[in-house]
Amino acid sequence: MAEASAHDDFYVRYYVGHRGQFGHEFMEYELSPSGRLRYANNSNYKHDTMIRKELFLSPAVVEETRRVIEDSGITRVDDSNWKEPDRESRRQELEIKIGNEHIAFTCAEIGSLLDVQKSADPEGLRLFYYLTQDLKCLVFSLISLHFKIKPIP
């Protein structure tokens, strides 16, 4: 029972998107305490349809994701000096719940590390940038492995 409760206090959600000439375009994923990973990608460019994927992760994968987030140091970062998204720009959101700590970050989309270096808080934004990149890579890898058409021999 102790292992089940260790996962009940962990949640992460990431969103990046904007409203533009093609409507609401975004990419979002959410990892819930049960291990359910939900992914959505909406782009109306050339009349694309929304992509939705849902899969369940083992407790080991959830725990490793939690470790990556804790080791990143993101819970000690303050986003008050980050560039706020305006109505025309893309926005990024990262919400994390670990134990009794619940944090949410919002900023304008980071195009490159040059944007990070030019910011008022380059160290904090660098942590955010690398963590979101790592988590996106992990999510895309898990989805790719889970929905592989030809199994790996």
- 125-142 tens-digit pLDDT: 999 999 999 999 999 999
Please provide residue 65's backbone torsions phi and psi, each rounded to the nearest 5 degrees: -60, -45
Q: What's 46's DSSP letter?
A: G
Evaluate if residue 66 carries a pLDDT over 90.
Answer: yes
Dig out the tokens for 53 from the structure.
């994927």
Which spans in 22-100 are helix H? 59-72
Dig out the tokens for 22 from the structure.
């093609």
**Average pLDDT rounded to a whole number, residues 64-88:** 90
pLDDT given at position 3: 46
pLDDT given at position 26: 87
Whole-model pTM: value is 0.83
